[in-house]
Structure 1
């Protein structure tokens, strides 16, 4: 699913065909309701500010490279206020916590089995 506002570029036939050919379901917020898409509005506002004006790039390849670098920075280095760390670090911590919980459960299960085995002897 790809959620957007009611901008003309998102309502265009070319864009709708691109989504359809990629088997992506379109979703749009209601007209004049920017709060329904606030997270995306905030992301693109900051993204555009940090990237700079597209006309600053002399060739398309430079712009594409700058976009790729900005996305990498956003996901791997930029500190996100709500997370207090980059998203990649947050994801790694979450995965580690899940792994620890899984092992804690398995360890406690093994201990209970060991106790049960010693009691039956």
Structure 2
């Protein structure tokens, strides 16, 4: 998080779920010190974080349900393959038809 803020600037807001890493005192203090507003979804409120919920739905319907896996290693391989394709091959309209990694790392090149 600190490296991203240094390279890309301080965002006005961070959206997250209520995972322990985002509710930890370390993160809360970091956000407070940088004047970053933290927006968290409510407990068991999928619609509050609809973008990531949609991403997980795509992961399941496009990669996990159509493919067989018998071991945790095979499952991990399928997930890693999907994430790699999503970040490096699949252009996104919202990112000006760039792939996420191209869009993300452009802020480090500036």
> TM-score, with normalisation over the residues of structure 2?
0.56
2:54 aligned residue: 42
Give the equivalent residue in structure 2 for 1:90.
Answer: 103
Alignment: residue pair count: 80
Q: Aligned-residue CA RMSD in angstroms?
A: 3.0
Question: How far is the alpha carbon of 1:58 from its aligned partner?
Answer: 1.8
Corresponding residue number in structure 2 for 1:112: none
Unaligned runs of 5+ in 1: 5-9, 11-18, 99-121
The answer on 1:67 being equivalent to 2:79 is: yes
Residue aligning to 1:118: none
Q: Contact 1:77 / 1:86 at 8 angstroms: preserved in 2? A: yes
TM-score normalised per structure 1: 0.52
- Structure of higher CA gyration radius: 1
Report what 2:22 is aligned to: 25
Report the alpha carbon displacement of residue 38 of structure 1 after superposing the two structures with TM: 1.1
Q: Structure 2: which 5+ runs fail to align?
A: 1-14, 24-38
| 8 Å contact kept, 1:54–1:63 | no
If each structure's helix is expressed as a fraction of its own residues, which one has the higher value? 1
**Distance in 2 between the 1:64 and 1:32 partners?**
25
Q: 2:93 is paired with a residue of what secondary structure?
A: coil
Match of 2:65 in 1: 53
